[in-house]
Amino acid sequence: MEEALGEDCGGPPEGQLLIGRRALTVCLSRSTNSLCRLEDSMDACALWERYKTYLVDHPSLGLRLDISRMKFGPHFFEEMAAPVERAFDAMAQLEKGAVANPDEDRQVGHYWLRTPSLAPTPEIATQIEHTVARIETFAQAVHSGKIRPPGADRFTDILHVGIGGSALGPQLAQGALGKSTDAMRIHFLDNTDPDGIERVLSTLGAEGLSRTLVLVVSKSGGTKETRNGMLEVQAAFRKLGLAFGPQAVAITAEGSALSKVATQENWLEQFPMWSWVGGRTSQTSAVGLLPAALQGFDIKAFLAGARDCDEITRLRDARRNPAMVLALMWLYSRSAGVAKDMVVLPYKDRLELFSRYLQQLIMESLGKSRDLSGNVIQQGISVYGNKGSTDQHAYVQQLREGIHNFFVTFIDVVHDAQAAPTFVEDGQITSGDYLLGFMLGTRRALYDNDRESMTLTIDRMNPRALGVLIALFERAVGYYATLVGINAYHQPGVEAGKVAANEVISLQKQVMQSMRSSKQAATVEAIATSIGRPDQAETIFKILEHLSANPGRGIKKHPAETPFNARFEAVD
């Protein structure tokens, strides 16, 4: 911010929150300044009045946001008005097509996916609309049996191969919306773990694979985990004498390595990924829509929910805009100069994966070491969670009485279930009543011990509500990033990890070539020295331990009195 807040605190500031190149001076405890915490818990009546004052209620979305148990001061929204206006302006420019990811010189267009008319060119709008229509047509053809596998009358299962944003969104949708009567069953390969891959493939079995539609999802086609999963599945198909191409669909960028493979091998279909949609914000693109449509979910309702939430979260009234309120509460939680974790506790089994979804969306977007001006900063919000009331028997003990380094986001779903209720107590109390009781009880227990929380309430869990939730947090992330002056739409840390992993694989190849040439057993240190990489002895030790422990890898270990004196040799 250009100006410093809290200069009337009656003394020098006790803390600062760095926002880009500007310092937001924060009064921590000595006045009623907006960023000061309310040190004392309120009694029930006062808390009820605060609840009514700050409740963000949008019946058209089936959404309420309660921030009464976040202890910001009475002038918080007034004094945040200037940075909030700048955040609104930046979001408006983003939606018009301004470059919002300067590090990669890219537009950011996931909001266009649910409102194509917002796209900056007619060509982009047409591509979006055409893709949704193709997805609906394709899913209908699969369900009717018009599109079928070569050896069966219809596809019954989906095998989704992808990782990160390409998998977390579809996994969330399956958990939130799936039921036993879905049009197709879905299975996921979201890692390069051979045991995990084998477990999924064995679950499908030979007969199941013959009726499985394989979705391979990778924008570039160069993601190693996804490539490995695809190659493992192709090998399983060959082993069973099945043709892979007629049962495979690619979701990828035009001209990518994956697209070239799909074209050369005559895959069944391809659907697009665009440079202006990041993986973690891709659930309203083909990445999320295709598996959802194939399972029989109402993707029009899902898109409508996201679109309606986008409209509400464009409101330039911070007090009525739930996404801006979330972003401001995240900012407030750092106002004492201490980064606090966000604990996500949805009291609904169907939202068990929501904390994992938000982990990527928030942590990959906001965990940055530099601001937009290149200054070194430390930004990020660590996200973890469980489901209620499972959390009651997991880590609520620490939340209430352990280290105070977090705030909680409770999620309440008002509608219990489709089935008629079963009364478990006194002929009038249901399991759902207890679920609400545990949520309210946990929230009260935390508040009574000075632990802050927000409560997000939705009417029911359905495709439209899922669209609302996803759009809400996507925009909250965008607003927060502008408030603190960072780029939310790149992930250099992820790329650094990929580069380092490739270096490990290159080192392994070098080690294997040297050992096969020498044909002599040697210690790790000797092997590292022989290839001129003594600095990589630890990595080589891990590589050789792994290879020698797995059959058929061509490395034998000769144990010694310590692991470091063990000798390794290449064998046929």
With a cut of 90, say whether residue 38 has pLDDT above it.
no
Tokens for 295? 């399972």
Q: What is the pLDDT of residue 402?
A: 95
Q: What digits encode the pLDDT tens for the residues 269-295?
A: 999 999 999 999 999 999 999 999 999
User: Are 498 and 543 contacting, i.e. CB atoms less than 8 angstroms apart?
Assistant: no
3-state secondary structure of 172: helix
User: Are 24 and 7 contacting, i.e. CB atoms less than 8 angstroms apart?
Assistant: no
User: Are 100 and 94 contacting, i.e. CB atoms less than 8 angstroms apart?
Assistant: yes
Q: What is the pLDDT of residue 375?
A: 94
Q: Where are the alpha helices (DSSP H) in 449-491?
A: 463-484
Inter-axis angle of helices 165-177 and 463-484, to 10 degrees? Answer: 140
Tokens for 331? 């900012």
Tokens for 155? 């596809």
Under the banding of pLDDT at 50, 70 and 90, the label for residue 494 is confident
With a cut of 90, say whether residue 545 has pLDDT above it.
yes
With a cut of 70, say whether residue 37 has pLDDT above it.
no
Where do we find the tokens 């990669």?
A: 104
The single-letter code of the amino acid at 279 is G
How big is the chain by its Cα radius of gyration, in Å?
Answer: 26
Q: What digits encode the pLDDT tens for the residues 293-348?
A: 999 999 999 999 999 999 999 999 999 999 999 999 999 998 766 789 999 999 99
pLDDT average, residue stretch 100-106 = 95
Under the banding of pLDDT at 50, 70 and 90, the label for residue 392 is confident
The single-letter code of the amino acid at 12 is P
Q: What is the DSSP string of 491-556?
A: -HHHHHHHHHHHHHHHHHHHHHHHHHHH---EEHHHHHHHTT-GGGHHHHHHHHHHHHHSTTSSEE
- For residue 174, what are the contacts with CB-CB under 8 A and spacing of at least 6? 186, 291, 295
- Strands 99-101, 522-523: pairing is unpaired
Whether the ω angle into residue 60 lies within 30 degrees of 0, i.e. cis, is: no
Measured distance CA(111)–CA(279) in Å, rounded: 14
- Cα dist from 285 to 144, 155, 483, whole Å: 23, 23, 27
End-to-end CA distance of the chain: 66
Q: What is the pLDDT of residue 39?
A: 58
Where do we find the tokens 């969670």?
A: 385
User: Are 363 and 409 contacting, i.e. CB atoms less than 8 angstroms apart?
Assistant: no
The single-letter code of the amino acid at 430 is T
pLDDT average, residue stretch 373-385 = 93
Out of 4-8, 78-82, 205-209, least confident range? 4-8
* Number of other residues whose CB lies within 10 A of the CB of residue 28: 18
Q: What digits encode the pLDDT tens for the residues 245-264?
A: 999 999 999 999 999 999 99
CA atoms within 13 A on the CB side of 205: 4
pLDDT cut 90: percent of the chain above it: 87
Measured distance CA(352)–CA(354) in Å, rounded: 6
Q: What digits encode the pLDDT tens for the residues 125-149?
A: 999 999 999 999 999 999 999 999 9
The burial of 238, by beta-carbon neighbours within 10 Å (0-12 exposed, 13-18 middle, 19 or more buried), is given as exposed
Q: Pick from 302, 314, 306, 325: which is nearest to 57 by CA?
A: 325
pLDDT cut 70: percent of the chain above it: 92
Predicted TM-score (pTM) of this structure: 0.91
Under the banding of pLDDT at 50, 70 and 90, the label for residue 479 is very high
Measured distance CA(293)–CA(52) in Å, rounded: 40
DSSP 338: -
Measured distance CA(500)–CA(498) in Å, rounded: 5
Q: Pick from 292, 281, 167, 159: which is nearest to 218 by CA?
A: 167
Q: What digits encode the pLDDT tens for the residues 155-165?
A: 999 999 999 99
Would you name the residues annotated as active-site residues? 364, 393, 498
Q: What digits encode the pLDDT tens for the residues 49-67?
A: 999 999 999 999 999 999 9
